[in-house]
Amino acid sequence: MTASTASRPVPWALYALTIGAFGIGTTEFVIMGVLEQVAADLDVSIGRAGLLISGYALGVFLGAPLLTIASGRWPRKTVLVALMVIFTLGNLACALAPDYAMLMVARVVTSLAHGTFFGVGSVVATGLVAPDKRASAISIMFTGLTVATLLGVPAGAWLGHEYGWRATFWAVTGVGILATLVIAVMVPRDSGAGEEAGWRESLAVIGRPTVLLGLLMTVLGFAGVFTVFTYIQPILTGLAGFSQDSVSLILLVFGVGMIIGNLLGGRLADRGLAPALLITLAALAVVLGLFSFALGHRWAAVAFVGLLGVASFATVAPLQLWVLNRAQGAASLASSFNIGAFNLGNALGAGLGGVVIERGGGFGAVPGAAALVTLSGLAVAVWAIRRERGAVMPPSAPCEQA
């Protein structure tokens, strides 16, 4: 990091990563806006259709470390472009899928690009800015995810409602082509490659207790979000009484909240990482815990959808930076593992929500279950921070120990 790097404005390459994140974020979240259409067209239950989200998330979790290791010696720009090609072809396969099984396979193929893109992209992003702006750089890249929710998911839901869910995936395929071209043009060739340890040494870094605790708090902290958000369409229509047409507009509110929360989380983490972790996870648990009470009043329900967006994505930059800071020598792999951890949380959350619904709890019990999961993530964060602070404190004198 040079003085000129620290003083220059945000480079265009960072915005190129944001566009790529928009494409990947759109394909991850858009299925939620057309879940009922997919279930009806492919003749499966809502719970089984929800597994398309779990399948994607598990694909991210498994694919992220494998692809990161496989491409570890490649130039990072080459990695990013190749991943966007996989993403585009996967969405094309989704649009053409003749049945549920093939749609699941296509979703998993698409998901393979996700974790490594955000993992490698996070490392590239933090290398483009001054050290005290690293969390903000991550949040700028992840703004693509939030804008995907603000624009991509509502647009996809509208397309699915008007022209069928396949039209949604055709549109996402077009986004993938655009994102591939933008990254190929804007990301510099000297984005780095091969400077980290070999894969065995990198895995040893991942095995550090502080890194593992970071991955665990990501899984548990974020699982609560998707316990609710996976089923947001039937929750809003079945409990809050909104029409199908209204869901797209309400998702816009969630998207605005995500943008605000994402940028806020980056600012908080740049000022103090540990406080940012505790504040954002605690806020998320509170919002989830109160969400059920808001569903009885339409305006309150809309407000809490927005608050859920703020609280959920305020956690992203702190959780990602925690792992990056504690995995020196294996930053790309650790970053990819943490993206996989986010998506493992998504998969567990979607599965938990489905179990709660189908075992008799109904949609009304989903937010309470989600809050408990996120509280467990907060407990891990408290433990990790206290453990780390205790490790750096000087030992007490014998008389003090007594």
* pLDDT at res. 399: 39
Total domain count, the chain: 1
Residue 94 falls inside a structural domain: yes
Residue 402 falls inside a structural domain: no
Query: pLDDT tens digits, residue range 229-241?
Result: 888 888 898 888 8
**What 3-state DSSP class applies to 389?**
helix
Query: pLDDT tens digits, residue range 274-289?
Result: 999 999 999 999 999 9
Task: Compute the average pLDDT of residues 66-92.
Answer: 87
Task: Report the alpha-carbon distance of residue 28 to residue 175 in Å, rounded.
Answer: 13
Task: Compute the average pLDDT of residues 126-143.
Answer: 82
Which residues contact residue 275 at a Cβ distance below 8 angstroms, ignoring those fewer than 6 apart?
Answer: 268
**Structural domain boundaries, residue 55:** 3-389
Residue 396 falls inside a structural domain: no
Nearest CA among 165, 62, 167 for reference residue 109: 62
Residue 394 falls inside a structural domain: no
Task: Report the alpha-carbon distance of residue 27 to residue 110 in Å, rounded.
Answer: 8
Residue 300 identity? A
Sign of the Cα pseudo-torsion (44, 47, 49, 52, in order): negative
Task: Report the alpha-carbon distance of residue 23 to residue 156 in Å, rounded.
Answer: 12
Residue 385 falls inside a structural domain: yes
Residue 326 has a CB neighbour count (10 Å cut-off) of 18
Task: Report the alpha-carbon distance of residue 19 to residue 321 in Å, rounded.
Answer: 21
* pLDDT at res. 4: 41
Which residues contact residue 71 at a Cβ distance below 8 angstroms, ignoring those fewer than 6 apart?
Answer: 78, 79, 82, 116, 120
Q: How confident is the model at residue 187 (pLDDT cuts 50, 70, 90)?
A: confident
* pLDDT at res. 401: 36
Number of residues that this document lists for the chain: 402
Q: How confident is the model at residue 400 (pLDDT cuts 50, 70, 90)?
A: very low
Residue 395 falls inside a structural domain: no
| Tokens matching residue 360 | 């008799």
Task: Report the alpha-carbon distance of residue 262 to residue 362 in Å, rounded.
Answer: 31
Specify which of 28-37, 72-81, 98-107, 119-128 reaches the highest per-range mean pLDDT: 98-107
Task: Report the alpha-carbon distance of residue 373 to residue 393 in Å, rounded.
Answer: 31
Query: pLDDT tens digits, residue range 105-128?
Result: 999 999 888 888 888 888 888 777
* pLDDT at res. 377: 95
Residue 400 falls inside a structural domain: no
pLDDT of 30 higher than 90:
no
Which residues contact residue 401 at a Cβ distance below 8 angstroms, ignoring those fewer than 6 apart?
Answer: none
- Could you say which DSSP state residue 393 is in? S
Task: Compute the average pLDDT of residues 186-204.
Answer: 66
pLDDT of 308 higher than 60:
yes
Provide the CATH number for the domain around residue 292: 1.20.1250.20
Nearest CA among 113, 81, 119 for reference residue 202: 119
pLDDT of 211 higher than 60:
yes
Task: Report the alpha-carbon distance of residue 399 to residue 390 in Å, rounded.
Answer: 19
* pLDDT at res. 402: 30
What percent of the chain is modeled with pLDDT above 70? Answer: 92
Task: Report the alpha-carbon distance of residue 32 to residue 235 in Å, rounded.
Answer: 12
* pLDDT at res. 381: 95
pLDDT of 1 higher than 60:
no
Which run of H or E residues covers position 343?
Answer: helix 331-356
Report yes or no: 41 and 204 within 8 Å, Cβ to Cβ: no
Report yes or no: 50 and 353 within 8 Å, Cβ to Cβ: yes
Residue 359 has a CB neighbour count (10 Å cut-off) of 9
Q: Is the pTM of this model over 0.85?
A: no
Task: Report the alpha-carbon distance of residue 90 to residue 88 in Å, rounded.
Answer: 5
| Tokens matching residue 112 | 């393979």
Residue 88 falls inside a structural domain: yes
- Could you say which DSSP state residue 101 is in? H
